[in-house]
Structure 1
């Protein structure tokens, strides 16, 4: 069952908020408990099946869009490339004929559309890293001296807090695997705060440790679990609806919806239009170079 589903946090909060969720607070008090549970169970099962069908339809359409995009590129890509090349040749011919600076600018712009871009690595070598410009490159571009990273020297109070937390929360003091995992996660945060010299965060972590682990929430009743499951299913459907809308409104999705039963015919029609445009451009180029 997906995370956040039956009895998940979102549904749990909606159920216990006294009606803030989509489904909370809809059951009247005069309905017998057995009937109420049965109705909730049927609603959950119906919603689950509806969501499954929706996901199947969405995934099917996504695959169709992906396949159509691939075919579109394979079949029409060369024609688009040829059109771009002809546009560049036509612009260059006009620039040679007129000598106008504006025509020359347009010719250079058109040629730039068809020239392959060299790889970023080839252009920038060591100037780029995962965050964009490397510190060395940024320093050189701004005429600033390249400086090593600032060394952090934790304060005496930070050292004291760190040592105390490390002694109290050390994972080796755990008796059970769950407690060890909790301590390891906590100590990782302590080490990060100490490494940055963040005394304020170390104080917060000390207070958090003194407060102890958060108590486990009380188990949900069967009805609360069903309400939570319905809430999660509703949220999941809203998310999938947004994904479906994005697919349908994409350029390829819109084209595919124009001819869902025969997408090949649509590609053939577009190819004919592109071939006609290629012929027109070639004729125009021939007139210019005569």
Structure 2
């Protein structure tokens, strides 16, 4: 009789193994989609820099006005008094009680909680109760909030990780769709298609703007001469 007896896995252990495999597949897919999203953002940023160098400089007056608007809005925000409601204070205390960095000794977890607490503090300063509720809900649903050891507890953690991965995949898909609907992405696509036909669409746009600027300048000079 074989002395090496292979222990049969319990149903819980078999289920945990399946979920670990499912999580690994989801994480691989998530990594690929994160890469695609990062690449798209990088390409758009590069195109935006080129656009600003060629076209943006011709809108300097608009930039000046927008800067004044931003300055005025900042002044209004600075003049507001901070008066947190009792409900806002309660939410803040509830969130801080669960995720405060001082509650853990692991350095990596401590740094992660510090970043999250920065979001909490900003939401509190903004008086954003909805944001605080969202942070609290995500934390209570996170794998990190599950305490204890053992197969059953680990299974709960993995299930929550799977849920988080699926949520992030959905968020990436939504962000990709949103980016592809932006004017900047549409313009980038038009410029790329024009380049295939040997056209420089940005330079054509710049020339049209230069003509409008020149005509406006001529009109201004004409008015000055009449006066």
TM-score by length of 1: 0.39
Looking at secondary structure, tell me which structure has more helix per residue.
2
Bigger Rg, which one = 1
TM-score by length of 2: 0.48
* Higher RCO (C-alpha 8 Å, min separation 6): 1
